[in-house]
Amino acid sequence: MLFELKSVFQNEGEEKQVSYKLDIAEIDIDGVFPFRTPIDVTATAKNRASLVSVALDINFDYTRNCDRCGEEFTRHMNLNFIHKLVQTLADDGNDDYIETPDYKLELDEIVISDILLALPQKNLCKDDCKGLCHICGKNLNEGDCSCDKRQIDPRLEILKQFMD
Ligand SMILES: [Zn+2]
Ligand SMILES: [Zn+2]
């Protein structure tokens, strides 16, 4: 989506908004495709005291497999970002600003990179997921199993043999 911002840059107090759906189903993360439905993007550009910024409000469903129990889960996510825009940058090394020399902003790349940087490192179906029994493999969120899960410290095990 190309966001045309000439009127915003040229008029103090001006505001412009665009909402659209972006299909990023082909994006592969760790071999899975977590964005099964198009994401909702609302971009609002504002000129305040001649400083132009664009706020992004991004909503999507994120489907992953739990790191502990392996079950698939879908979580609704809402992410918000603000980027400052300038026509030209004096200093190329300044990442705080996005350059828009022709008053046009290509939103898709910015939205995708914002999302990818903000995704959680851990994927848990719920914060207190109990995971799988390491002996029988049962999903312990569905109930306990009858395995003896007392962890024996290997060093104590050696000591125990020695004492016997
Ligand atoms: Zn889980
Ligand atoms: Zn078990």
Predicted TM-score (pTM) of this structure: 0.83
How many Å lie between the centroid of ligand 1 and the Cα of residue 70? 6
How many Å lie between the centroid of ligand 1 and the Cα of residue 29? 19
How many Å lie between the centroid of ligand 2 and the Cα of residue 139? 9
- Residues 4-33, mean pLDDT to the nearest whole number: 96
How many Å lie between the centroid of ligand 2 and the Cα of residue 90? 63
Supply the DSSP symbol for 76.
Answer: E
Residues 6+ apart with CB under 8 A from 114: 56, 58, 79, 81
Is 147 in a helix, a strand, or coil?
coil
How many Å lie between the centroid of ligand 2 and the Cα of residue 146? 6
Q: How far apart are CA 114 and CA 120, in angstroms?
A: 12
Name the band, by pLDDT with cuts 50, 70 and 90, for residue 133. very high
Q: How far apart are CA 98 and CA 6, in angstroms?
A: 15
Name the band, by pLDDT with cuts 50, 70 and 90, for residue 159. low
Q: How far apart are CA 84 and CA 39, in angstroms?
A: 23
pLDDT in tens, 91-123: 766 678 899 989 999 999 999 999 999 999 999
